[in-house]
Structures are given as structure tokens and as C-alpha cells.
């Protein structure tokens, strides 16, 4: 990949071929309490971060009814509705909560329908632009879960459908029932167990939404390759992690989350960080 290619990394992507978003989005998991449970310590502060994100040009916000539960969606509805033109809010359903940091999948059709109805109400929208199955429930065939979602799509309550934490064969399985436009898996420069899924999404032009997009651990340590490159480019390790994702594939939509405006501004600036192909190679080999 030449320098020119790196510098002309596309800034936007069309989800489902028709929802154009700026590729660097905002993940709204962290605007909840500890353990993604209950309200945040500073409710007004959380709403201010959401409003600032939109002000900075972020128009793709990702949440889930399980964040809080319901807290994140409600805060988004309260802070941003009526939505500025072009702002897309994606949400997820299919995970239930049993307490802080506890999550269990439930993919029964009647439960998913209830979640969609509650999400519509919390987000204050008539249609969810992108609804994602948060996890496949091992007790319920994915076809059964998605047939209900297809009905909701026909009713106009959902526009596009995505999946989360899946492998290519599961995406194929789901695509037999309903059109899938996005996949959300854990992925960053230091954790690349889903390379096959990134390649699948790139090939089929499906949005790939990496959660936990900022590298942690050994790679991010002071004095490491990422840290060295960051200093050289007057950037942070976090910004470089996001910039790497943006150049990794044109379908990549990173959604870094934060509850602080300063950190949000730093994340958004990552879209302008450019490195040469050689520098990225160096960092990748260290990873």
C-alpha cells in the first residue's frame, strides 16, 4: 500500500448501501454506571459527551438495550432527539442482564420483539436504522430469532440488520434468512482473532464494527513500537490504534467510547492521523 493510498483512506462508508456515515463512530457503552450497570455518575456529563460527539461530526452512534440495561438508549434519546439530519443510531438486542458485568443471551422471538419495541421508545425513533443481534442464543436456532426480526423489518420498525460476535459460517447461515449489512466483533491491532471475519466483510462490503478498538497490553506499553510511532507523529497510542483500523479495511467502522469530552476529541482526531505503509508494517510485525 503506497503513501498515497494511506492518505486517501475513505472517511465515509454506506451501511447497507444507503446509510452514509463518517467511519469513526461513537460506542455508547461507557455512558452507563460501573459494570455497564445503572446510570452514570454524571448523567448531564454523559449527555454533554453525546451532544459534543455529534457537534464534532460523529454521525454513527452504537448502543444496545443491554447497556444499563436501557440506560444508554434512554440517554441517547434524551440528549439527541430530535436527531440532527444524517445521525444514525445503531442498537442491539438479544443479551439479558443479571447484574454488573453479567450477560446472558436470549434469542426467543417474542423477547427480541419486546426489546425492539422498547428500543424504539427509549431512542425516540419510529425506525431503528441498524439493529444487531447482540449474540446468537445457543438454545434458539438463529433462523428462528431472525425470522421475527424480518417481520419487524417488514413492519418498518427496523431498516437494516447486523450480527455481533459471529464467524463467517454463522453470517452465511443468517444471510439465508435476512439481509445482513454489518458485523460487530472484538478486534484491534493487538487482538486479531477475527481476521477471517474482517476479510469476509471486506469481500462482501458489510460494515465491520470493531468493539474494544483500542489496543491494550504489551503493544500499548511505553517504549513499544506503537508508543514510538505515536510520539513521532505527535499522536497518542489510542489515536494510532484507531488510525490503523481505518486503514486496515474500507468497511471498518471503529466505535471508541468514552465518558470524557477531552478523550472524545482525541479519538475523533484519529481520523486525520496518517502513517506510511512501512510504518504500519513495522507496528503490525510488533503486534
Catalytic (active-site) positions: 67
Taking phi over 0 as left and psi of -120 to 50 as alpha, with beta for the rest, 155 belongs to alpha
- CA distance to 26, 118, 152, 263, per residue, from 268 (Å): 9, 30, 34, 9
CA distance 18 to 96: 31
CA distance 142 to 103: 18
Block residue for cell numbers 425506525: 127
Block residue for cell numbers 494510532: 240
Q: Which DSSP string corresponds to 126-184?
A: SSEEEEEESS--TTS-HHHHHHHHHHHHHTTSEEEEEEES--HHHHHHHHTTS---EEE
Kind plus residue range of the DSSP H or E element containing 105: strand 102-105
CA distance 31 to 261: 12
CA distance 246 to 35: 28
Return the closest-CA partner of residue 191 out of 129, 125, 248, 146: 248
CA distance 89 to 86: 10
Amino acid at each position: 500500500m503506497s503513501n498515497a493510498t494511506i492518505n486517501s483512506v475513505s472517511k465515509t462508508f454506506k451501511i447497507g448501501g444507503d446509510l452514509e456515515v463518517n467511519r469513526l463512530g461513537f460506542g455508547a457503552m461507557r455512558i452507563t454506571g460501573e459494570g455497564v450497570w445503572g446510570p452514570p455518575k454524571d448523567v448531564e456529563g454523559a449527555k454533554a459527551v453525546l451532544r459534543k460527539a455529534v457537534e464534532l461530526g460523529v454521525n454513527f452512534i452504537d448502543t444496545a438495550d443491554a447497556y444499563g440495561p436501557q440506560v444508554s438508549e434512554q440517554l441517547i434519546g434524551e440528549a439527541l432527539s430530535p436527531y440532527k439530519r444524517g445521525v444514525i443510531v445503531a442498537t442491539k438486542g438479544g443479551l439479558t442482564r443479571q447484574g454488573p458485568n453479567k450477560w446472558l443471551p436470549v434469542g426467543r422471538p417474542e423477547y427480541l420483539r419486546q426489546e425492539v419495541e422498547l428500543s424504539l421508545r427509549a431512542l425516540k425513533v419510529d425506525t431503528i436504522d441498524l439493529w444487531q443481534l447482540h449474540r446468537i442464543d445457543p438454545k434458539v436456532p438463529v433462523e428462528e430469532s431472525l425470522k421475527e426480526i424480518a417481520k419487524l423489518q417488514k413492519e418498518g420498525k427496523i431498516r437494516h440488520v447486523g450480527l455481533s460476535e459471529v464467524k463467517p459460517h454463522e453470517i452465511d447461515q443468517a444471510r439465508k434468512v435476512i439481509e445482513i449489512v454489518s458485523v460487530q466483533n472484538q478486534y484491534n491491532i493487538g487482538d486479531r482473532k477475527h481476521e477471517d471475519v474482517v476479510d469476509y466483510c471486506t469481500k462482501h462490503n458489510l460494515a465491520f464494527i470493531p468493539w474494544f478498538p483500542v489496543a491494550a497490553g504489551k503493544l500499548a506499553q511505553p517504549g513499544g513500537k506503537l508508543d514510538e510511532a505515536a510520539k513521532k507523529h505527535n499522536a497518542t497510542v489510542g489515536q494510532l490504534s484507531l488510525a490503523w483500523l481505518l486503514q486496515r479495511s474500507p468497511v471498518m467502522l471503529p466505535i471508541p467510547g468514552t465518558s470524557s469530552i477531552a478523550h472524545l476529541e482525541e479519538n475523533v482526531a484519529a481520523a486525520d492521523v496518517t502513517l506510511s505503509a512501512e510504518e504500519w508494517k513495522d507496528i503490525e510485525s510488533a503486534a
